[in-house]
Amino acid sequence: MEITSKSYLSQQSRLLCGLLRSRRGAAHYCLIGVDAKQWFCTEYGYRQAYSQKITSSFKDFKHICDRFSLDATSLSSFTTEEVHLVVQANISQKTDQQKILEEYQKFSKYSPPHMNDEKRKQCIQCDPKPVISFLKDIEKERIFHYFYLPKSTYLKESSEMDSGLIIDLQEISFLSMDDAKQIVRQGIDNLLLCQQSLQTCDRLRTNFWLENPDDFVAVEGNIISPWREHLMQRFSRDFSRIGLDGATEQDYKKLAESI
């Protein structure tokens, strides 16, 4: 399984895909992997790891807001300074103000207003436990949707296990055979695309997110065995799972009670 990568000049953002199989003469199906450190800082990745914390802390915040006829949903969109002003203007008792602001502080720790990647990164640095739990759940196969691929498994010169890719096993893309051959042979260099037709140039820049002059696509490495087989196994198990209308816990109880 080869890895193709699109590397930005900063070397911070990397998008990689593993070629899984070929549809006879037409295209290579592939999985997309994103740098794990960046993935957790995206809105989607952050929600996967921190949704329970956000939901739980908001529930507590909403509960105390309801007691004092405050709208927790509206307050959650305000800045910290605005929340303080609203609470002080509507709640007379200092002790009650403190209780509300304490619950708001717990909630805003995981979901501050106007969230962006940098704020999510700061939240993770304050409490990395949900990220650790999420990765452990992937490893123990409690979460089937994703796969963590350490850098040392696809880069010969790397021994890093604490850096790698998050692969979404349900996000399947594909490469045309011509594009795959070009990537393997000489790569796709944004600086050289002007030599090709305008239509081809636009298609490649769109498909591979070639935005800056330094952007390129090239083969970066090969996933080593047995990680290659393990990834294929996990993909097959997740993608082809069969949903069953099976027995419930109540059925099991009835069985046990009837023994």
Q: Is a pLDDT exceeding 90 seen at residue 39?
A: yes
Q: Is a pLDDT exceeding 50 seen at residue 57?
A: yes
User: Nearest CA to 86 among 111, 60, 113, 50?
Assistant: 113
List the beta bridge partners of residue 6. 15, 217
> 38 pLDDT band (50/70/90 cuts)?
very high
d(CA 209, CA 174): 15
d(CA 169, CA 150): 16
User: Picking from 15-19, 109-113, 139-143, 254-258, which range would have the lowest pLDDT averaged per residue?
Assistant: 15-19
d(CA 100, CA 60): 10
Average the pLDDT over 191-216 and give the result: 84
Positive or negative, the Cα torsion across 138, 118, 153, 168? positive
pLDDT tens digits for 208-220? Answer: 878 888 888 887 7
E strands of the chain, at which residues?
2-7, 14-23, 27-35, 146-150, 164-176, 188-189, 216-222
pLDDT of residue 42: 95
pLDDT tens digits for 130-181? Answer: 999 999 999 999 998 999 999 898 888 888 899 999 999 888 877 787 888 8
Q: Is a pLDDT exceeding 60 seen at residue 114?
A: yes
Q: Is a pLDDT exceeding 60 seen at residue 234?
A: yes
